[in-house]
Structure 1
Amino acid sequence: MSSKRSRQKKPADQEFVVEKIIDKRLKDGKVEYFLSWKGFPPSDNTWEPEENLDCPDLIRVYEIEEARRQQAAGKNREAQVDMANNGFDQGLEPEKIIGGTIFQGQIMLLVKWKGKETASLVPSKIANERCPQLVIKFYEERIHWNVSSCT
């Protein structure tokens, strides 16, 4: 994969090879990429207009990776929004706790709301206060008692 671009850095023309695309921006309505150059330190990284580049494979790899990062960031934002807008905040009544998980170091319970098809994650501390009997029932359904006969 030959990723080359001609630039004039000194009086003599030098051929520069793009090592990696680091970032992307729009400037004056045109796409520019922040590039690291093979054989040069990070202090020599530069923003270059897309039309000056001859490295379609590197651009494609960068765009795919960026799409994955954006998708992952979107999922994290959705999870935070769901937790921030749980049913208690909307005045809904909990029907049942259907699951639990640890999210960002905190025990979260998945609460199904009466009259709704969806459930939302609620911090266990809030569920313990707002619907303690449902929390107890959830844990009781999952406890395995070791019953031994005493003779």
Structure 2
Amino acid sequence: MYWRRIYAYDARKDDVNVPAPTPTDQPAEEFSVEKILDKRSRNGKVEYLLKWKGYNDEDNTWEPEENLDCPDLIAAYESQFETSLRDTEDKNKIKIISEDSRARGFDRGLEPHKILGATDASGELMFLMLWKKCKEADLVPASQVNVRCPEIVINYYENKKIWHTKQTFKLCDLSVLRISFSTTVSPSGRVLILSANE
């Protein structure tokens, strides 16, 4: 008596349902694996996507690792996967290094034009600086901008139309007001308005 394993593919679950082996008088039907295409983990079990010899790609199925008898193909797939993973990591490292090594901010030797915006998302106040004769903008630490071009920083804050107070937000048109004020740069690189007179 031979045991025959029957696989039923349920497309709704994209999974393989394996019913209990059924006794039969015929020899077990064997399928040959041509290639392992992919790997996944389902319910804590490793499954491989198999390309069957003599069958179309539509007949590829996910099979649990314990049902497979092709250790050489599994080893070849795992080796190929490790190699491609290392290659991808190396390419990403090269890309990151080349991006980081590119000069930014004042190191590019460009003349600042204006500040487009500001952020302190990284924990340090940074200005998005637009440069003259250049279409690219860079995030530059406020401490550098405050020292190298304080007039641009003052202009940025003067043209900002929203001023924050403790109680409300006020919308001001600064072109109508004649305001003179003095500024200072704090140790953290922030520009502080010390006094304002109308």
TM-score by length of 2: 0.39
Distance 1:64 1:90, change over 3 A: farther
Q: Indicate if the aligned counterparts of 1:32 and 1:47 stay in contact, CA closer than 8 A.
A: yes
Letter in 2 for 1:23: D
CA shift for structure 1 position 14? 2.5
SS of 2:37's partner is strand
1:8 corresponding residue in structure 2: 6
- Relative contact order higher in (CA < 8 Å, ≥ 6 apart): 1
Q: Indicate if the aligned counterparts of 1:7 and 1:15 stay in contact, CA closer than 8 A.
A: no
SS of 1:8's partner is coil
1:124 corresponding residue in structure 2: none
2:82 corresponding residue in structure 1: 67
CA shift for structure 1 position 89? 3.9
2:63 corresponding residue in structure 1: 48
Number of aligned pairs?
89
SS of 1:15's partner is coil
Q: Distance in 2 between matches of 1:91 and 1:84?
A: 16
Q: Distance in 2 between matches of 1:18 and 1:90?
A: 57
CA shift for structure 1 position 88? 2.4
What percentage of aligned pairs have identical amino acids?
42
- Output aligned runs, 1:1-151, within 5 Å: 7-8=5-6, 14-86=29-101, 88-89=103-104
Distance 1:56 1:76, change over 3 A: same
Could you give the per-residue CA deviations for residues 54-96 of structure 1, whole angstroms, max 9, x where no partner exists? 1101000101111110111111101111122125249879xxx
Which structure has the bigger radius of gyration? 2
Letter in 2 for 1:56: P
2:112 corresponding residue in structure 1: none
